[in-house]
């Protein structure tokens, strides 16, 4: 049987199996889902085993386990390390889902479920592509799988795992599908990810909530102060005002910018898709540049005071915000967190107390386009899409990728198949049936061309 025939014959089962995985609510951020996250690790291990992997191990960590499996066919052949994650983002706000987040269903050729695209659907393509190669006798090199359960909460246990398992994880390249393409008829390969610094801030005013009439006007309102402090962190050009924030940013050349501008993009479609009458961002940069080569500062959540039904007249004792900063080469997440903390503490008026609590961080990544692995991925995509993929730097983060290079000395190929419109992290996340099978079809060609080019 050819690969194509094998995929065609097993099409429904490949969908059913993904659905089974999507039904398990592996939300890593919220401890109430803990049992389900562990259950998902078992399910991933089981599917690796059924696909033909060996030496499978569900490796415990202080958090959620890392699932390992491998197929070594010949020690002299190259080895590809596949990385993916089985954890998902919280489904909230649940009310906005048209179908329940953990009851996958197909509508208009799309699989709707939390994790359908990020990353269960994309990770599972690799297990199925492996099964295809195993059952058609076409596996041309060794494979190692490392699927983690804490990507959405910063992968803090994966770095130590890499340190301790250098020997077991020996490979020639890392292959990841956890990013996207420009459109189903415009294939692309991700060549850059932004880094991340994530902090939570707490502003305290009076020691208790106060009547906003009796005290209002005479004491600091921590919510007002927090809003002023946040507003002051950007100037009229949407430039971040934290001193030193841009000092390590690598400014790219005019030639590189001209190259980037060639990627197909329609501002009108972009706005229409998000129901926006205008875009917003740093002066002097295009939309694509703003989400790839420029750092950001965004409030991800803000709360305090009374938010229930009706009106309560109150000055809150405390206000909070969660703030993310996306980073670009050569910004260092710890240094940026430190700059933020110093700035925020100094900027606070004496009338309040502030506390900055750092969360996870991650380094930015840029991958080469002149490497064998990039060329193999590009050739595989060209083969199955009928078009050469465009290299694109994207705005999201996968903190572990930088550590593959720093700890294991490995380059990564980011060959994802999602779309920006798949609503990852949002209600109604979905993944195209087309994209799922395009991935399963393309991945074996990566192995084929990579093995050939490595000879």
- Residue 152 interacting with ligand BES (CB under 6 A): yes
| Residue 105 parent element (H or E) | strand 105-107
Residue 365 Cβ vs Mn ion, minimum distance, rounded to whole Å: 14
Residue 429 interacting entry, from ligand BES, Mn ion, none, C-beta within 5 to 8 Å by type: none
Annotate 145-188 with three-state secondary structure: EEEECCHHHCCCCHHHHHHHCCCCCCCCEEEECCCECCECCECE
Q: Which stretch binds ligand BES (CB under 6 A): 131-139, 174-182, 199-207, 300-308?
A: 174-182
Residues 25 and 31: their CA atoms lie apart, in Å, by 12
The pair of three-digit structure tokens given for residue 10, joined into one six-digit string: 């097993």
Site residues for Mn ion, 106-125, by CB under 5 A, read 118-119
Which one of ligand BES, Mn ion, none is in contact with 180 (Cβ closer than 5 to 8 A by kind)? ligand BES
**DSSP label of 305:** S
Contact flag: residue 87 with Mn ion (CB under 5 A): no
The verdict on 178 binding Mn ion (CB under 5 A) reads yes
Residue 397 binds which one of Mn ion, ligand BES, none, with CB within 5 to 8 A depending on kind? ligand BES
Task: Specify which residues 210 forms β-bridges with.
Answer: 315
- Helix (H), strand (E) at residue 295: none
Q: Which stretch binds ligand BES (CB under 6 A): 105-113, 288-296, 310-318, 396-404?
A: 396-404
Q: Is 180 in the site for ligand BES (CB under 6 A)?
A: yes
* Interacting positions 337-366 with ligand BES (CB under 6 A): 360, 362
Taking the complex as a whole, the smallest distance from the CB of residue 177 to ligand BES amounts, in Å, to: 9
- Using the rule CB under 5 A, is 131 a contact of Mn ion? no
Q: Does 429 bind Mn ion (CB under 5 A)?
A: no
Binding span for ligand BES by CB under 6 A among 43-51, 282-290, 369-377, 392-400: 392-400
Report the alpha-carbon distance of residue 24 to residue 86 in Å, rounded: 10
Binding status of residue 17 toward Mn ion by CB under 5 A: no
Q: How far is the CB of 3 from Mn ion (least distance, A)?
A: 26
CB atoms within 10 A of CB 206: 17
For tokens 């967190």, the residue is 337
What is the x/- site pattern for ligand BES, positions 199-218, by CB under 6 A? --------------------
Q: How far is CA 138 from CA 36, 132, 365, 384, in A?
A: 35, 8, 32, 17
The residues, any chain, with a CB within 8 Å of residue 12's CB and separated by 6 or more, are none
Q: Which stretch binds ligand BES (CB under 6 A): 285-293, 385-393, 395-403, 430-438?
A: 395-403
Nearest to 194 by CA among 399, 431, 441, 51: 399
Round to whole Å and give the CA distance between 453 and 292: 30
DSSP conformation class of 294: S
Q: Are 112 and 428 in contact (CB under 8 A)?
A: yes
- C-alpha to C-alpha distance for 203 and 431, rounded to whole angstroms: 40
Q: Which does 399 bind (CB under 5 to 8 A by kind): ligand BES, Mn ion, none?
A: ligand BES
Instruction: Name the nearest CA neighbour of 118 among 156, 92, 151, 93.
Output: 151
Contact between 118 and ligand BES per CB under 6 A: yes
Q: Identify whether the C-beta of residue 84 lies closer than 8 Å to the C-beta of residue 384.
A: no
Residue 178 or 373 having the CB closest to Mn ion: 178
| Nearest in space to 365 (alpha carbons), one of 328, 407, 336 | 328
Contact call for residue 26 and ligand BES (CB under 6 A): no
Q: How many residues bind Mn ion (CB under 5 A)?
A: 3
Kindly tell me which of 120 and 411 has the beta carbon lying closer to ligand BES.
120
Q: How far is the CB of 152 from ligand BES (least distance, A)?
A: 5
- Nearest approach, Cβ of 287 to Mn ion (angstroms)? 21
Our finding on whether 394 is near ligand BES (CB under 6 A) is: yes
Q: Residue from 187, 391, 399, 432 that binds ligand BES (CB under 6 A)?
A: 399
Give the span between the Cα atoms of 172 and 239, in whole angstroms: 40
Which spans of this chain sit near ligand BES (rule: CB under 6 A)? Answer: 118-119, 151-152, 154, 178-180, 193, 196, 360, 362, 394, 396-399
Which spans of this chain sit near Mn ion (rule: CB under 5 A)? Answer: 118-119, 178
């Amino acid at each position: 049987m050819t690969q194509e025939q094998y995929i065609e014959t097993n099409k429904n089962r490949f969908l059913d199996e993904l659905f089974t995985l999507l039904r398990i609510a592996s939300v890593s951020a919220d401890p109430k889902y803990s049992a389900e996250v562990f259950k998902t690790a078992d399910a991933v291990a089981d599917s690796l085993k059924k696909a033909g992997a060996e030496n499978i191990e569900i490796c415990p960590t202080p958090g959620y386990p890392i699932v390992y499996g491998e197929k070594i066919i010949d020690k002299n052949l190259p080895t590809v390390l596949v990385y993916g994650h089985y954890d998902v983002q919280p489904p909230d706000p649940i009310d906005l889902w048209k179908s329940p987040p953990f009851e996958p269903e197909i509508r208009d050729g799309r699989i709707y479920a939390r994790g359908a695209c990020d990353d269960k659907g994309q990770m599972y393509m690799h297990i199925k592509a492996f099964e295809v190669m195993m059952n058609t006798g076409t596996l041309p090199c060794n494979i190692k799988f490392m699927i983690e359960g804490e990507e959405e909460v910063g992968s803090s246990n994966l770095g130590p795992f890499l340190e301790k398992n250098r020997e077991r994880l020996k490979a020639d390249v890392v292959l990841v599908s956890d990013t996207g393409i420009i459109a189903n008829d415009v294939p692309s390969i991700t060549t850059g990810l932004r880094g991340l610094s994530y902090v939570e801030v707490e502003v305290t005013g009076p020691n208790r909530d106060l009547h906003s009439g009796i005290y209002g006007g005479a004491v600091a309102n921590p919510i007002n102060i927090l809003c002023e402090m946040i507003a002051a962190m950007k100037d009229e050009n949407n430039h971040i005002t934290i001193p030193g924030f841009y000092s390590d940013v690598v400014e790219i050349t005019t030639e590189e910018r001209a190259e980037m501008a060639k990627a197909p993009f329609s501002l009108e479609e972009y706005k229409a898709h998000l129901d926006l009458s205008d875009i917003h961002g740093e002066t002097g940069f295009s939309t694509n540049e703003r989400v790839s080569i420029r750092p950001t500062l965004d409030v991800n959540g803000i709360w305090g005071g009374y938010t229930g039904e009706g009106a309560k007249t109150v000055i809150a004792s405390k206000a909070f915000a969660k703030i993310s900063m996306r980073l670009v080469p050569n910004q260092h997440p710890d240094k940026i967190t430190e700059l933020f903390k110093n700035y925020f503490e100094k900027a606070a008026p004496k009338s309040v107390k502030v506390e900055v609590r750092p969360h996870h961080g991650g380094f930015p990544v840029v991958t080469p386009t002149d490497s064998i692995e990039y060329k193999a991925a590009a050739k595989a995509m060209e083969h199955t899409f009928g078009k050469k993929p465009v290299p694109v730097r994207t705005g999201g983060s996968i903190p572990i990728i930088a550590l593959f290079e720093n700890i294991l000395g490995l380059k990564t190929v980011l060959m994802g198949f999602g779309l920006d419109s798949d609503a990852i992290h949002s209600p109604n996340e979905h993944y195209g049936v087309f994209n799922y099978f395009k991935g399963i079809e393309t991945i074996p060609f990566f192995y084929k061309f990579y093995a050939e080019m490595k000879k």
